[in-house]
Amino acid sequence: MATLREIKTRIKAVHNTQKITKAMKMVSASKLRKVQNRMLDLRPYADKMRDVLMSLAKGADRESHPLLAFRQRKTVEVVVITSDRGLCGAFNTNILKAAQNYIDSCKKEGFEVSISTVGKKARDYFKRRGVTVRNARTGISGNVSFTNAQEISNDIKENYINETIDEVTVVYNAFKSMATQTVTVAKLLPLAPIEDGKEGSAPESAADFIYEPSMEAIFDRLIPRNVDIQIYRALLESSAAEEAARMSAMENATKSCNEMVGKLTLQFNKARQASITGELMDIVGGVEALKG
C-alpha cells in the first residue's frame, strides 16, 4: 500500500496536471473563436464562387481551361491535412485512418498514389511507414493564412497542368460544431469545389452567357482562384475543428483529474485513518503490557 507521502505527492501532481489542462482549454477556446469567425466569413464567399463557376463551366468546353480538363486517371494526389500538435483526442487518428483507407482503395484499383501532407502528424505518420511524401508542409496549424493556401494550391495546379497528377483529393476534418468534426474526403481536381465534404454540383440546365472580356480571360482568373479558396477553406475548417477537438479533449482531461483527485483523497484518508488506528492500538497495547 502506498505511503501517505506518496499519495500526497500523487495528488499534487494531478492538481498540477489539472492546471495545465485548464490553461490549454482556455487557449484553445480563444484560438477557436478567431479561426471560427474567419471560417464562417469565408463560407458564403466560397459557396458563391462555386455556384458561379459551376454555372459558367456547365456549358463551357472542358478543354477551354487546363483545370477543367478530364483525362484518364493514372496518378492520384492525396492531400492530407492534420495538426502539428497532439492532445486533441482522435482528431488526427480519424483523418489518418480515412486517408489510409482511401489510398489503399486507389491502389487496389491500380492507380499510382502521390501524397502531400499539411501538418507534422501526417508527415510523421507516412514517414514511419516508409511512404514517400511528395510535398510536406508544417507550421500552418493554428496559424493559417491565405498565403499558405496559395502555396499549396500553386503546387497542386502546376503538377496537374503538367499532367504529373491526374486527380487531386483532399482529406481533412470539417468543422460542424463544438462537439462534432466530420472527416471529409473531397475531390478537388478535376474541378470539383469543396463544400462541407461534398463535391459541388452545377445547375441542371446551363444558361447562355455573354463573356466579357472573354471566356478564356474569365476562366484564367476565376478557376485558379477557386482552387486557392477551396484549399484555404479546408485549412480553416481543419484549424477550427482542431481547436474544438483540443478544447473537448482538455475538458475531458480536467474532469478525469477531478475524479482522480477524489479517489486519491479517499485513499489518503483511508491510509491516514489506518495509520492513526495502528498508533492507537500500539498505545493501548503498551498500556496493557504495563498493567501486566
For residue 281, give Cα distances in angstroms to 24, 69, 273: 48, 90, 12
User: What is the Cα 9 distance to its own chain's centre?
Assistant: 36
Residues 6+ apart with CB under 8 A from 76: 106, 111, 112, 113, 114, 165, 166, 167, 168, 169
257 is an active site residue: no
Closest CA to 261 of 32, 10, 55: 10
> Could you give phi then psi for residue 198, rounded to 5 degrees?
-120, 150
What is the C-alpha to C-alpha distance for residues 135 and 116, in angstroms, rounded to an integer? 5
Active-site choice (88, 174, 235, 257): 88
Q: Which three cell numbers stand for residue 184?
A: 471529409
> Could you give phi then psi for residue 80, rounded to 5 degrees?
-105, 120
Which positions are annotated as active-site residues?
88
